[in-house]
Amino acid sequence: MLLVVGLGNPGAGHANNRHNIGYMAIEEIARRHGFGPWRRRFYGLTCEGRFGGRRVTALKPMTYMNLSGQSVGAAMRYYRLDPGEVIVLHDEIDLSPGRVRTKQGGGNAGHNGLHSLDSHIGRNYRRVRFGVGHPGDANAVPNYVLRDFAKADTPWIDAVVDAVATEIGALAAGDTAGFMNRISLATEASRPPPPDSTD
């Protein structure tokens, strides 16, 4: 069993927020892999399917970002999972828009959703970090992540969400290098240039 979690905030008003790219990704993963219908469980919404021969539960915590660990912890206890059997999809302000990175364990860099997870399940879960860029001022971060993406961001958002949904089975199987290589190739053309680029 594998638990794949997309972080975000519930409600239509948050649907296109930067903080909700984890929701966007988990919804596309469930759609792409033909998971069953969403239903309310574990203080969230879940649906089930498979990556190859491995059973997978997808989870969208409905507790709001800052309490995500409550939902993930409940699911982990029910399925008797270790943190290493959990993959969390989330926004990352310390990566430029369109970049994707993976990580297992480590700090939460002030991300409130990850802070909640750390408190409930420890730090040794796997992460897929979706770069959304930084506003340039630490004081502006809370408002920045709760604002909608710009329309100009749509091409790279679609590209990274599509690529992760397509390749997530490789990550689930432990092929992190292959997952990252294919994500990089699939998203390279759509990534916006860095802010200081002269291209």
CA distances from 160 to 43, 73, 136, 187 (A): 27, 27, 23, 6
State the Cα torsion 142-138-154-69 to the nearest 10°: -50
Place of tokens 């190859």: 52
Rounded CA separation 99/92 (Å): 9
Instruction: For the chain, give percent helix, strand, coil, nearest 5.
Output: 45, 20, 30
Rounded CA separation 28/33 (Å): 8
> Of these residues, 19, 33, 111, 134, which one is catalytic?
19
User: Across the strands, what pairs with 45?
Assistant: 40, 60
19 included as an active-site residue? yes
Residues serving a catalytic function are: 19
